Amino acid sequence: MCGIIGYIGYKNSLPILLDGLRRLEYRGYDSAGIALIENDKIEILKKAGKVSDLQDKLKNYSSQSTIGIGHTRWATHGAPNDINAHPHNNSDNSIALIHNGIIENYQTIKKKLLKDGCKFQSETDTEVLVHFISSFYKNGNDLFTATRLALSEVEGAYAILVISAKEKNKIIAARKGSPLVLGIGENEMFVASDASALISYTNKVVYLDDEEIVQLTSNNFVTKTITDEEIEKQIEKIDLEIGQIEKNNFDHFMLKEIYEQPESVKNSIRGRVLLEEGDAKLGGLQDFHDQLKKTKRIIITSCGTSWHASLVGEYIIEQMAGIPVEVEYASEFRYRSPVINSDDLIWSVSQSGETADTLASIREAKNKGAKTFGIVNVVGSSIARETSAGVYIHAGPEIGVASTKAFTSQVAVFGLIGLLLGRQRGMQIDQGRIIANEIISLPEKIKKALNCVDQVKKIVDEFKNTSNFLFLGRGTNFPTALEGALKLKEISYIHAEGYPAAEMKHGPIALIDDKMPVVFIVPKDNLYDKVMSNIQEVRARGGRIIAIANDDDDEIDNFAEFVIKVPRTLNYFGPILNIIPLQLLAYYMAIARGCNVDQPRNLAKSVTVE
């Protein structure tokens, strides 16, 4: 949510800020703006809408500024309009601020500032914060100290950048609960929400941790805690290339990422499968094998698509290793006083590694004495740093808001974890080899699954004007049905529901008529006959049946109006192949309906606020 970019150095800052904002568009936003220090004054230019709308506003604007901050806003407090857009400034326009997060006690602070005669222009909590910093600034503190003192009284989450016309050679940055990363250049410094906005300029970065504040000049940075303790930060190199965050020859990032899945899954399992031993090797867990072996319960916390992958992980771990697994919505976990034992293992799953609710669930688990592990994509992310250990999925940057390759890579990694835990707990080597061989085969099978575009487009032509879809599956393919429904509603705005196929009789069957498309995920597994019975029930009521089936299934053609076939795999890994046509269905449905595929309305890529 929200995108933050800042620059201080010797170059014209305006094009750098605009380039950074364009690269941050994938995070989801409804307005954009910049603040520059020009001729000892702060110039703020902002506009509701897309970055392109801001660029149109700036087309006749000439700047020589070498310091500035830029923002894309995802509305929380106040409507998405020009006034509520960031940056915000104080009364005399000496300070400008951009902010990602929510200031929970802003009303209390605002009442105090109103009593002091402060006047507000917007509805945002962010404007309250800039005036609050200003109140400390007026008392003779420098900008760094004023910001630090103000933040010591703030409750909530924030990532902020602050500049002042009175101290035009510095940017102040601070974070709590929302990510910030510094980019280290030669006589220039950058700061952004994530590294995708920096990679054109530097591969040297510094990750800020919670309750840290930093003062940036063009050739130096000084970091402290909010409580004024100095900190030594390590400069790291990131392995990210500009080509990875470009569309290449694809029309949209989402389509590119769907077609990257053979490679992304290959990267997720590379070097981790021990074929001869029928086992898995996960370096991030190497020092915790005893705890993994002794645990009596696993709890997985996650949100959205990662929650669906976690449900598949529950099936995998319970079936391969016999360990009881519970999957929790991270957003609900800490608010229900969960029962956590000291020998429980808490796994948290997040593509970005910055999901606010998932981070909160980790902290709740740690407070109760449990060991925490992460499954994340982004190296150096908050979850990667706050958990004791974990596994990177190595799927590469995912720019499209609707997650695709992260889901398949997360399920593949759960397969590796299940295999590791299973072999620790008595799984025979022959069974381990079967599973290991199947994991290795997945990238090639994904390539074959992608050869379904013509069938998908026929389905889209038939149903592009429909208002509702129902997705049904059993076993590991119940979560696949949930994920297929989520993808469709995320980007095509069609109402869709995922359900266990056997539960259809307990309510959803009332929706079935000759206008209702019903997607069945029906692989040739031990539940095949059961799902076929559910298909018969829908047929009897006139429902329009779409089936995702295996390529050796000839029977299904007699019962479904539309059939898409994918290679057969072990039931553990069915979701990896069965989701491919459902991702493509969502994509081409959104195209047919004229929707913005990569930036669907109201959504953000990384949900960094509660």
304 three-class SS = helix
CB 102 within 8 A of CB 76: yes
Asked about 2 being catalytic, the answer comes back as yes
CB 395 within 8 A of CB 409: yes
SS3 of 455-471: the string is: HHHHHHHHHCCCCEEEE
Task: Say which DSSP state 519 is in.
Answer: E
Token pair 């009442």 in the structure block, residue: 111
Rounded Cα distance between 404 and 284, Å, is 24
CB neighbour list of residue 19: distance below 8 Å, 6 or more residues apart? 197, 200
Candidates 176, 445, 487, 605; catalytic one: 605
Task: For residue 302, give both structure tokens.
Answer: 């996650």
CB 311 within 8 A of CB 301: no
CB 257 within 8 A of CB 405: yes
Candidates 2, 303, 452, 595; catalytic one: 2
Angle, CA of 231, 235 and 239, to the nearest 5°: 145
Provide the CA 390 distance to its chain's centre, in angstroms. 17
Burial of 506 (0-12, 13-18, 19+ CB in 10 A): exposed
526 three-class SS = coil
CB neighbour list of residue 559: distance below 8 Å, 6 or more residues apart? 532, 535, 536, 539, 545, 547
What is each CA distance from 572 to 18, 272, 384, in whole angstroms? 45, 18, 26
Catalytic residues: 2, 605
